[in-house]
Amino acid sequence: MGKKIFSGVQPTGNLHLGNYLGAIKNFVELNNVPTNECIFCVVDLHAITVKQDPKELKKNIRETVATFVASGIDPKKSIIFNQSGVAAHSEVAWILSCVARMGWLNRMTQFKEKAGKDKEKASIGLYSYPVLMAADILLYDATHVPVGDDQKQHLELCRDIAQKFNNDFGVEDFLKVPEPLIQKEFSRIMSLKDGSKKMSKSEISDLSRINLTDNEDQIINKIKKAKTDPLPMPKNIKDLEGRLEAQNLLGIFASLNNSTLESSTEKFAGKNFSEFKHELSELIVNKIIPISEEIKKLLNDYSHLDSILLDGVEKASKIASKKIKNIKEIVGF
Ligand code: TYM
């Protein structure tokens, strides 16, 4: 039986190689399986949990759609839409926030990281963000959710919320408990400047990430400047232990090359980093530049991008309105 796939990406600009390898590359593969039903959401409601410039947000929503399409997601085969276009997401998020427990949300590590030291100043939305994410997934009866490793805890929470809703209201199997789809290798791409930190949109230094809109010179320069260690390239997987930067760069190579970490490590065993970096930048340029050029091309035609979203909103609304009707019935509205 085909899978029902749902996933989301925040339109906060600077979509990077981590987003691509951890998530979007998988979206494309799942979209290419004819029996799968895929829904990919530009999660603009999630984006405003931290301050956004409205003009920038609008631009970034379109840029995220362009990135989906440029990466190979076919809007004819998948539903691509923006979250704020379907009101049911906000409504169901409220209902589920009355099911989820404070204790569960208090354990979310991403909130702790994003809120930083001054939690009192974080928005309420940032705190309850994973409940909205659960609403996204559960509204569409998604069976599988492809994400990077950093979303694992949010998906576990989504499963808990679904189970509690079903138990509380005595509706076994009504909300479908989804399975995360997290790759074994390469599900956490790290910063080019620090192998212990996640590659991230919000990191101040642009040298820490490869953006999907970077040009060839930027890519070559960033890889040249990427942190390594003074030793020659590791001889084997065991030799990678404790060498976070080498592990990350080899992981990027392997993932883009559709090979394993093991075979990529063997390919460069004992060589010096500069030789490896040369091949790595060539590979990134070959894989990312066509995407980056396609994004730029697509961004010249806003009306086309907007029509993809409009069409997606219409299709998603049809599915969501049926589910929310049943949810309201069950709750007693
Ligand atoms: P977001 O927008 O932060 O990231 C989008 C996707 O990219 C993955 N990712 C990474 N993967 C590997 N290495 C990295 N360094 C890296 N950085 C980001 C993320 O894991 C994610 O899959 N809450 C979500 C969006 C969301 C969602 C949903 C996802 C909202 N509703 C429903 C799935 C289902 C987020 O903020 O992703």
Q: pLDDT tens digit string along 81-135? A: 999 999 999 999 999 999 999 999 999 999 999 998 888 999 999 999 999 999 9
CA of 151 to the centre of ligand 1 (A): 6
- pLDDT tens for 19-48 read 999 999 999 999 999 999 999 999 999 999
Closest atom of ligand 1 relative to the 149 alpha carbon: 20
Nearest of 320, 264, 311, 274 to residue 81 by alpha carbon = 311
Q: How confident is the model at residue 1 (pLDDT cuts 50, 70, 90)?
A: confident
Burial degree of 25 (CB within 10 A; 0-12, 13-18, 19+): buried
Cβ neighbours for 79, distance < 8 A, ≥ 6 positions apart: 38, 39, 40, 312, 315, 316
Q: 1.10.10.60, 1.10.240.10, 1.10.579.10, 3.40.50.2000: which CATH number matches 206-297?
A: 1.10.240.10
In the set 164, 176, 193, 201, the catalytic residue is 201
Cβ neighbours for 207, distance < 8 A, ≥ 6 positions apart: 192, 193, 222, 225
* Per-residue confidence (pLDDT) for residue 13, from 0 to 100: 87
Q: Which residues line ligand 1 (CB under 6 A)?
A: 6-10, 18-19, 22-23, 43, 46, 133, 136-137, 145, 147-148, 150-151, 187-189, 198-199
Q: How confident is the model at residue 186 (pLDDT cuts 50, 70, 90)?
A: confident
Q: Ligand 1 pocket check: which of 150, 188, 200, 247 to mutate, most ligand atoms within 8 Å of Cβ?
A: 150
Domain ranges of the chain: 4-188+302-331, 206-297
- The answer to whether 117 is a known catalytic residue is no
- The answer to whether 201 is a known catalytic residue is yes
Q: How confident is the model at residue 57 (pLDDT cuts 50, 70, 90)?
A: very high
- pLDDT tens for 265-276 read 999 999 999 999
Task: Check pLDDT > 80 for residue 322.
Answer: yes
CA of 108 to the centre of ligand 1 (A): 15
Taking CA atoms only, the protein residue closest to ligand 1 atom 29 is: 8
Domain 4-188+302-331 CATH superfamily:
HUPs (3.40.50.620)
- pLDDT tens for 278-289 read 999 999 999 999
* Per-residue confidence (pLDDT) for residue 14, from 0 to 100: 83
pTM above 0.85, yes or no: yes
